[in-house]
């Protein structure tokens, strides 16, 4: 009988001292927030990489460029495009949060972080004007860009993108 009482006392003590559920929930919520931030920082495989990055996807960029060497340039995103993107993101996110309040932790990237990110790349073909916002298209699997835009084309009932000069 004494053994049974001691065993039940030890069990009760272990349960009371080892089950801090509130603290565990706080830690889990913190871990979830950190994981969401980490996932948001990774470029999804179906999105365009930075200009001048070798990639199979053909992407369009609006850049302000500066010549560094023969065909080597550096450039940054047009601030007007980045600001419009941030405003569109905030509007869309507000609509999403109305429907799903759990997504309130998601934040749109501040446009100021894009303005000063300079990318290095090479230009093939016609050379761009320096200091003026212009449209570029990457050449797949190279670090080269060329002047031009992406145009929608109809391919057997489905839409595709075609790179062409303005």
**pLDDT value, residue 108:** 86
The answer on 129 and 146 residing in a single domain is yes
In terms of domains, do 76 and 140 share one? yes
Predicted confidence band at 17 (pLDDT cuts at 50, 70, 90)? Answer: low
Please tell me whether residues 18 and 82 are part of one structural domain.
Answer: no
Residues 138 and 106 in one domain: yes
Average pLDDT over residues 105-131: 85
Domain count within the chain: 2
User: Angle at Cα 155 formed by Cα 150 and Cα 159, nearest 5°?
Assistant: 55
pLDDT digits (tens, 9 = 90+) for 21-61: 567 777 888 888 888 777 776 767 778 888 998 988 889 99
Angle (CA) 89 94 99, round 5°: 125
- 141 shares a domain with 73: yes
71 vs 144: CA distance, rounded Å:
9
**Does the pLDDT of residue 129 top 90, yes or no?**
yes
**Residue for token pair 């489905």:** 158
160 and 128 within one domain: yes
Domain membership of residue 107 as a residue range: 48-164
Tell me the helices (H) and strands (E) count for the chain, helix number first.
Answer: 4, 7
81 with 12, same domain: the answer is no
Q: Are residues 52 and 38 in the same domain?
A: no
Based on the fold, state whether residues 75 and 124 are members of the same structural domain. Answer: yes
Instruction: Say whether both 150 and 112 belong to one domain.
Output: yes
Residues 27 and 102 in one domain: no
**Cα 153 to Cα 131: distance, rounded to the nearest angstrom:** 31
Quick one: 12 and 33 in the same domain?
A: yes
């Amino acid at each position: 009988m004494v053994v049974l009482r001691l065993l039940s006392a030890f069990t009760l003590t272990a349960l009371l001292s080892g089950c801090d559920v509130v603290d565990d929930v706080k830690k889990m919520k913190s871990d979830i927030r950190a994981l969401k931030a980490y996932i948001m920082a990774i470029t999804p495989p179906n999105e365009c990489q930075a200009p001048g990055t070798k990639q199979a996807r053909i992407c369009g960029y609006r850049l302000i460029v500066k010549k560094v060497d023969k065909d080597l340039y550096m450039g940054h995103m047009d601030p007007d495009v980045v600001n419009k993107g941030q405003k569109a993101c905030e509007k869309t996110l507000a609509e999403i949060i109305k429907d799903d309040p759990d997504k309130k932790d998601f934040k749109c990237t501040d446009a100021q972080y894009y303005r000063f990110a300079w990318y290095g790349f090479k230009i093939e073909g016609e050379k761009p004007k320096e200091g003026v916002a212009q449209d570029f298209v990457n050449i797949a699997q190279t670090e080269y860009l060329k002047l031009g835009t992406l145009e929608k084309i109809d391919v057997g009932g489905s839409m595709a993108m075609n790179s062409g000069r303005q």
